[in-house]
Structure formats: C-alpha cells, structure tokens
C-alpha cells in the first residue's frame, strides 16, 4: 500500500493507474476510521481496480468554536485499517498541500448547502465542497464513495460533480450501525457512558417514524411530532433539527407521498462537567407503500422498491 503525502505524488499515482488501464476509486475520509469507513472501502473495491483513501481533517469545515484541535486522529491505526481493508494507496497530506499559502478560492453549492446542517453550521458545506473538489481534481478517480449517514453532504457532492462537469461517478453507501442501532461515527468516541445510552434515541426515532408511515401516516407535522416525542425520552437530548425533506432537492415536504428523507441532528452532553455537547446526525429515507390495487376478486400490494 502506497502512502502519498503530496499532491504531486497523488497525481503521479493516479496517472500510473490510468496509464495501466485501471479503474480507480476514491474514498474521502477525515480519519479515525471505523467499520463504516471500512464498508466504504469495500464498496470502492467492488467498483474499481485500485482504491485510494484520503485521510485529511479538513480545517475549512470547522468553525473557530468547533472541535478541529480535538478531532480524533490516529494515522497509524488508520493506515493499518486501510491496509487490512485492501486499499491500494492512502493520501494523507498536510493542510498546506490542499490550502497553499494565499489560497482564496472556495466552492459553494448555493441551495443544497442551506438547510439542515447548513442552518446551524453555515460554514460547513463551503469547506466540504471546496476540499472535495480539490480531491476530485487532483486524484481524478473514476468513482468516489461517500457514506449515506452524511446524506446532505452526499447530495452536495453529487450536485458539485454535475455542475463542475467532473468526470466522476459519485456513489452513496448505506449507513453502518452498532448492534443497538447507533450510526457509526468518529464523534461517537466523544460520548461518555450516559450519553452513549441516550444516543440510541436517534435510531429509535427513525424506527418510530418508519412504523408510523407503514401504518398509513403521511402528514409531515404528525410524523415529526412522533419523532420529537421519541427523542424527548432522552432527557438530555437537545434537537438541532428534525425535518422531512425531498431526498434529491432537500426541499421541505408537507406529506410523505413518496420516498422522503427524515433527517435528524441531536446534541448530547458528555464529560465530567456535562457542559460539552456532542452533535450526532442520522437519517432514513421513508418509503411509503403504494395503495392496494384491486384486480377482479384479487388484490395485491405494491411497494416502492428499496
């Protein structure tokens, strides 16, 4: 497995793969790899001949008050995980490689970056879009794989690639969960024992909404009330947002008439003082069943395929 530290080395590796006729895949990460990241590498391996993983804690997506300095970092452990997962190369640059002195160019996806996480973290998607654009331009992969846990990020990247005419396929891979339903995240490491128990409320809220839709509920306000009541069972959980959105445009929807994104962000107190808060996100695309269709004396139920 090759360890690439500079953009020049990255380009040389990419050019060599293309020159040999190999299809390449990129898996962008911020390190602190867990089983969810490993699943992205596996998906990339299924779609390409050579897999590149980037490990870069992107300073441009952190506000001054956020956790850039304390964000978990373990390059040696990450390299071992990449090697075990079958990655062919890892790009782990210093910040100056991607943001050279005097850098002043930014990429924004104007509408998709505004709702959901963009509401409480208005700086975030400019940083994400900029660094992803840089990685895609420098690495020139045929395909790039992103996790669906960061659903809004995935849609932003898809739009970015289309708008900038980048010759790359953007693929979303399913959320990987702990046995108790908590979506895997590098920030789970911040949770103390009490917050870790309360964090289960996110997946329970998604389950409750999905059950309500399966029972026939379609009204967005009613479904969101169900979600808020479920999250309220965790007394220390503070809702950042709980919203129903169109999965493609991220526009708010009044009713769940077709596949609909339920997106959640919740903050939980942790640490000895309980004054620090960890922000966790989760989501699910709710897929209502179509009405029964009668045909003669028989009827059948059609469902929207998953």
The dihedral region occupied by 201, where left means phi > 0, alpha psi between -120 and 50, and beta the remainder, is alpha
Q: Is the pTM of this model over 0.75?
A: yes
Nearest to 201 by CA among 230, 235, 171, 243: 230
Where on the phi/psi map is residue 18: left (φ > 0), alpha (ψ -120 to 50), or beta? alpha
Kindly list the domain boundaries of the chain, sorted by start residue: 2-173, 186-293
User: What confidence tens digit (pLDDT) does each residue in 255-297 have?
Assistant: 999 999 999 999 999 987 888 899 999 999 999 997 655 444 4
Question: Can you tell me the distance from the alpha carbon of 99 to that of 59, in angstroms, rounded to the nearest whole number?
Answer: 9
| Residues contacting residue 194 through CB under 8 Å, at least 6 positions apart | 236, 270
Helix (H, G, I), strand (E, B) or coil at 146: strand
Q: Is residue 37 among the annotated active site residues?
A: yes
pLDDT in tens, 141-162: 999 999 999 999 999 999 999 9
- Which of 34, 37, 123, 142 does the annotation list as catalytic? 37
Unique residue bearing structure tokens 């009827």:
299
For the chain, 306 residues long, the average pLDDT of each consecutive 10-residue run is: 98 98 98 97 98 98 93 96 98 98 97 96 96 98 98 98 98 98 96 96 98 98 98 97 98 98 97 88 95 48 40
User: Architecture of 186-293 per CATH?
Assistant: 2-Layer Sandwich (3.30)
Are the C-beta atoms of 220 and 254 separated by less than 8 Å? yes
User: Tokens at residue 236, please?
Assistant: 């220390």
Query: Which superfamily does CATH assign the domain made up of 2-173 to?
Result: HUPs (3.40.50.620)
- Residue-wise DSSP of 187-238: GGGG--HHHHHHTTHHHHHHHHHHHHHHTT--BHHHHHHHHHHHHTTSTT-E
Q: For tokens 């007394």, what's the residue?
A: 235
The closest alpha carbon to 175, from 298, 39, 54, belongs to 39
């Amino acid at each position: 497995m090759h360890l690439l530290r500079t953009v020049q080395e990255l380009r040389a590796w990419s050019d060599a793969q293309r020159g040999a006729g190999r299809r390449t895949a990129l898996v962008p990460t911020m390190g602190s790899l867990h089983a969810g990241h490993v699943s992205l590498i596996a998906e990339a391996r299924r779609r390409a001949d050579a897999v590149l993983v980037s490990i870069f804690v992107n300073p441009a997506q952190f506000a001054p008050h956020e956790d850039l300095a304390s964000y978990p970092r373990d390059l040696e452990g990450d390299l071992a995980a990449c090697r075990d997962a079958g990655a062919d190369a890892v790009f782990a640059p210093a910040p100056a490689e991607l943001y050279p002195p005097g850098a002043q160019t930014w990429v924004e996806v104007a509408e998709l970056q505004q709702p959901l996480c963009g509401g409480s973290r208005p700086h975030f998607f400019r940083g994400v879009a900029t660094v992803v654009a840089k990685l895609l331009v420098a690495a020139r992969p045929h395909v790039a794989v992103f996790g669906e846990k960061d659903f809004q990020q995935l849609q932003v990247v898809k739009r970015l690639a289309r708008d900038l005419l980048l010759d790359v396929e953007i693929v979303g891979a399913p959320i990987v969960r702990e046995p108790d339903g908590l979506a895997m995240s590098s920030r789970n490491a911040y949770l103390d024992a009490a917050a870790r128990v309360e964090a289960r409320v996110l997946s329970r809220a998604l389950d409750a909404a999905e059950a309500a839709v399966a029972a026939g509920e379609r009204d967005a306000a009613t479904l969101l009330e169900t979600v808020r009541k479920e999250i309220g069972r965790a007394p220390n959980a503070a809702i950042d947002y709980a919203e129903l959105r169109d999965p493609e445009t991220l526009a708010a929807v009044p009713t769940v008439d077709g596949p609909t994104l339920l997106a959640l962000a919740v903050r939980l107190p942790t640490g000895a003082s309980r004054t620090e808060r960890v922000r966790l996100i989760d989501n699910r695309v709710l897929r209502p069943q179509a009405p029964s269709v009668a045909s003669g004396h028989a009827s059948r139920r059609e469902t929207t395929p998953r």
